[in-house]
């Protein structure tokens, strides 16, 4: 596999880390900023809102831009958002930082798959996408627990500083190894994307997805306070639980892929 593909994987790792790492820091952030736990939980929800807006809207608006230039812009925005979170003077500015990084997240995974497939022969396209998304799995196993550990021992701001450093590494890797002449097709307009909402069967799929992810991410958002206040775990044990969770997710993904490959 080309080294450019691993630059995309590093980017996915950085983005996956910043998406989930805040879960283990909710009580710490709430105490430091003197806000309630539900208000701190909005930092997860508003990030997700940035992803939801960024994926369809910004992908359509930036569809004619060169892929490498767009990718570098996204990683610069991602790094800037995490630096803003690091230096956020208050709750409102931290919300803005989370929305900015969420916007970068949404567009990155919209274009990342097409970039990954353009780097390899057609018969290896699925493997290229799988390698890129490995960054998300590895983020759950290593990035999130380590980020939680950093936040609990050195302060939650330092976690965002560490993630911004990951973003810088991903930016440099993309700058050096992603080719400049990546081909891409004409982008779907917002109107074309909106037409899918008229398909009842697709709406049912969307509803199932929303209910499934909504049902799992609501308790996941407040996992740290649940572990500490209800289950009696110490703050230091939260990172270990996140590690076990990440390993479980990785094992489930690998098992699912293995069964899928064997069935074919």
Closest CA relative to residue 100, chosen from 160, 41, 157: 160
Q: Using an 8 Å Cβ cutoff, are 221 and 23 in contact? A: yes
- What are the residue ranges spanned by the domains of the chain? 3-263
pLDDT tens digits for range 134-172: 888 888 888 888 888 898 889 999 999 999 999 999 999
Whole-model pTM?
A: 0.84
Any alpha helices (H) in 37-90, and if so which ranges? Answer: 37-53, 59-61, 67-86
Q: Using an 8 Å Cβ cutoff, are 146 and 13 in contact? A: no
pLDDT tens digits for range 95-125: 999 999 999 998 898 888 889 988 888 888 8
Give the CA count within 13 Å in the CB-facing half-sphere of 98: 22
The correct answer on CATH 1.20.1250.20 for the domain covering 3-263 is yes
């Amino acid at each position: 596999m080309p080294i450019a593909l691993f630059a995309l994987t590093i980017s996915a790792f950085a983005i996956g880390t910043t998406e989930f790492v805040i879960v283990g820091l909710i009580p710490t952030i709430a105490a430091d900023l003197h806000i309630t736990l539900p208000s701190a939980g909005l930092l997860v929800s508003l990030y997700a809102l940035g992803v939801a807006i960024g994926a369809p809207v910004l992908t359509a608006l930036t569809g004619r831009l060169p892929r490498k230039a767009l990718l570098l812009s996204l990683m610069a925005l991602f790094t800037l958002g995490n630096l803003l979170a690091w230096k956020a003077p208050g709750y409102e500015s931290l919300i803005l930082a989370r929305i900015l990084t969420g916007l970068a997240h949404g567009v990155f995974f919209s274009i990342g798959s097409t970039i990954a497939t353009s780097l390899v022969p057609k018969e290896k396209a699925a493997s290229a996408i799988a390698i890129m998304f490995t960054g998300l799995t590895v983020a759950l196993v290593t990035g999130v627990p380590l980020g939680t550990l950093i936040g609990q021992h050195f302060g939650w701001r330092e976690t965002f500083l560490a993630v911004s450093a990951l973003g810088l590494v991903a930016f440099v890797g993309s700058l050096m190894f992603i080719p400049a002449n990546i081909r891409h097709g004409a982008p779907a307009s917002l109107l074309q994307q909106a037409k899918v909402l008229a398909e009842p069967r697709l709406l049912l799929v969307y509803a199932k997805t929303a209910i499934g992810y909504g049902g799992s991410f609501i308790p996941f958002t407040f996992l740290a306070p649940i572990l500490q206040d209800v289950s009696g775990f110490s703050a230091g044990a939260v990172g270990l639980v996140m590690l076990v969770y990440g390993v479980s997710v990785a094992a489930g993904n690998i098992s699912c892929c293995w069964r899928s490959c064997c069935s074919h």
